[in-house]
Amino acid sequence: MTDRLGSYAPPPSVWEELKEELKQAAPELGIDDIGFASAEPFVSLKSILQQHRDKGYESGFEEPDLHKRVTPMLPGTEPASLIAIAVAYPSKMANPPKSEPGKYRGIMARSAWGRDYHHVLREAMSRLEAYIRERVPDAVLESMVDTGALVDRAVAQRAGIGFSAKNCAIISPKYGSWIYLGEMVTNIPFPPDTPVTEDCGECTKCIDACPTGALVGPGQLNSQRCISFLTQTKGFLDEEVMRKIGNRLYGCDTCQIVCPKNRGKNWDHHPALQPDPEKAKPLLLPILDLSNREFKETYGDTAAAWRGRKPIQRNAVIALGNFRDASAVPKLGEVLLKDPRPELRGTAAWALGRIGGEEAMNNLEKGMASEQDSQVRNMLQQALSKLKSSSNTDTSSAAHQQAEPKTDIAGAHGAFGPGGTQQGSGPADAPVQGAEPMAVPEGGPEMIYYDEIQSPVGPLTLCATDKGLCLIEFGSFYVKEAVIQQWSRTWAGNGGYKRDPERLAPAAQQLKQYFAGERKAFDLPLDMRGTSFQIQVWEALKAIPYGTVRSYKDIAESIGRPKAVRAVGGANNKNPIPIVVPCHRVLGADNSLIGYGGGVELKRTLLVLEGAIADR
């Protein structure tokens, strides 16, 4: 087929024929999906982008001219249609290397696995251009990959590649969100494809799991808070961000990993995109010794190289601090005292403060004596103050070194949310590569105090931190010890536990009064630890009066998330302080007794005790 454009353009049926021919040829061109759309301006998108800019949510990498971002253009002619392509990439790594004490590893986001996707997509687009020009010699074609003015997700959605998800990714019904996108503007009037009508429904797992809360709403990303963006910046990072980065060296996959639409999806049919395990999960310490030349030789063919070695090396220092790797102290001390880059010196000071110990303290004091940069001096002072305020630095450091952060379990599907809270259950929700390390409080690992009491529903194990009651488990301590250990590792830095009846006496007394029908409300300090969404739900549970019931929908509406009924159910089921925080007062839509950690009969017993339902 050879046609020319102009006043004697062929009828639309010819372009339909060419479109179908391109779809058939796409796999041979290295393209997994291809879609066609009109080249009309994205009128409604402009106001959305303006609001995004006004709120300060932009990353700064975007095209500054909003008109160009929403208006397809071609040099010398009017655009007639858009072509969107998708190339699928892997989500899992075969036999990933694991961290070991003294040999801890970082993690690259999947977008940096294998060869730089920009090159892979540009080559695919070039093959597509050549294919079209063989058939339409005077076609005007302009391709773009990631760096073009147009919003590639908007083009992909209009062209039927997938739908725009709450995590701001395009989700293909076949490939999930594990796809790279490219687009082409042309003067060929291809008939448009139909957009995908599927959506996320009520699911908010990505929003709930985002470590920094960067997903400020469905389809709304504050780039300035996004870990993927922050790992690519070159400056100093604040305390919260560094703790949240965990062992990520480049990018963040959390919002894609937790997405149910991605469950079981892994694409390994593009050899160039397959990861080299030693580059995708590299040892951290050797990264700090890389020269510019060595960095380019090692990572220059990956997407992680575009910002140079400084962000990667800074993030490696952060990871060593989050791992509390005592064996890294000599190298971190060298970075602190000798590296010419202030960002690296300041980050090393922070990491040494996280690790602790006499050698770390000595390095910090040496740095304080010689450092001239004000920002670095400030970070040195904060690290020294943190270590000096500890009542027993050596003991604290030893405890840190024994605590193995949860960053290296080899599953590549499912996820842990912020701080390691598991999303869902079962094999599909196993720990993930690159999940952030366990949460370790500012003052170091915390002791968990516990006691057991007997109740009408059987033995209860009560646990508290110095801040307040943190767990109630149905069963004796002996039975629930593993669960309590897991909670401690996830939320309290694995600081150990000991029995302390006196500390738990107020909680024990109030629970006994409750079971005797003498107390309808609890007055106890609570230390509830979970994701921001979970805590929001748990606060709503506390507001349910004694002897009344609510539905999951009621709770969702009360927190201003009326469509998050499912997510509310999940948070309700993870309530760490049952009875005191009355998750038993929430019923299914048909008033059924569902979703209680202690079992349906125990839930019934509590509701009968309160007079909320009749005894059978």
User: Residue 116 to residues 228, 271, 438, 560: CA-CA distances in angstroms?
Assistant: 16, 12, 31, 42
Active site residue 583: yes
Pairing of strands 107-108, 248-250: parallel
Nearest to 350 by CA among 387, 396, 313: 387
- Separation of alpha carbons 570 and 561, rounded Å: 14
Helices (H), 329-466: 329-338, 342-355, 358-370, 374-389, 393-402
The residues, ordered by sequence, that sit 6+ positions from 386 with a Cβ below 8 Å of its Cβ are 353, 442
Axis crossing angle, helix 374-389 with helix 342-355, rounded to the nearest 10: 0
- Separation of alpha carbons 550 and 584, rounded Å: 10
Q: CB under 8 Å, gap of 24 or more: what pairs does 482-488 form? A: 484/448, 484/450, 487/448, 487/463, 487/576, 488/446, 488/448
**Taking the CB of residue 327, how many other CB atoms lie within 10 A of it?**
15
- Asked if 254 contacts 225 with a C-beta cutoff of 8 angstroms, the reply is no
Radius of gyration of the chain (CA): 28
Q: What is the three-state SS of 530-577?
A: CCHHHHHHHHHHHCCCCCCCEEHHHHHHHCCCCCCHHHHHHHHHCCCC
Calculated CA dihedral for residues 571, 261, 85, 76, nearest 10 degrees: -30
Fill in the DSSP letter of residue 5.
-
- Asked if 270 contacts 89 with a C-beta cutoff of 8 angstroms, the reply is yes
Tokens of 479: 């039975």
The owner of tokens 């790992």 is 231
- Separation of alpha carbons 120 and 385, rounded Å: 49
CA 125 to chain CA centroid, Å, is 30
- Separation of alpha carbons 196 and 199, rounded Å: 8
- Separation of alpha carbons 306 and 61, rounded Å: 13
Tokens of 278: 């030693």
- Separation of alpha carbons 122 and 146, rounded Å: 10
- Asked if 581 contacts 428 with a C-beta cutoff of 8 angstroms, the reply is no
The owner of tokens 């080899």 is 410
Type and span of the H or E element at 587: strand 586-587
Strands, DSSP E only, in 218-307? Answer: 220-221, 248-250
**Cα dihedral sign, 547-551-552-556:** negative
Catalytic residue among 206, 210, 255, 583: 583
Q: Number of helices (H) and strands (E), helices first, in the chain?
A: 24, 16
- Separation of alpha carbons 31 and 127, rounded Å: 10
- Residue 604 pairs in a beta bridge with none
Residues in the chain: 616
The helix/strand/coil state of 221 is strand
The residues, ordered by sequence, that sit 6+ positions from 133 with a Cβ below 8 Å of its Cβ are 139, 141
Catalytic residues: 583
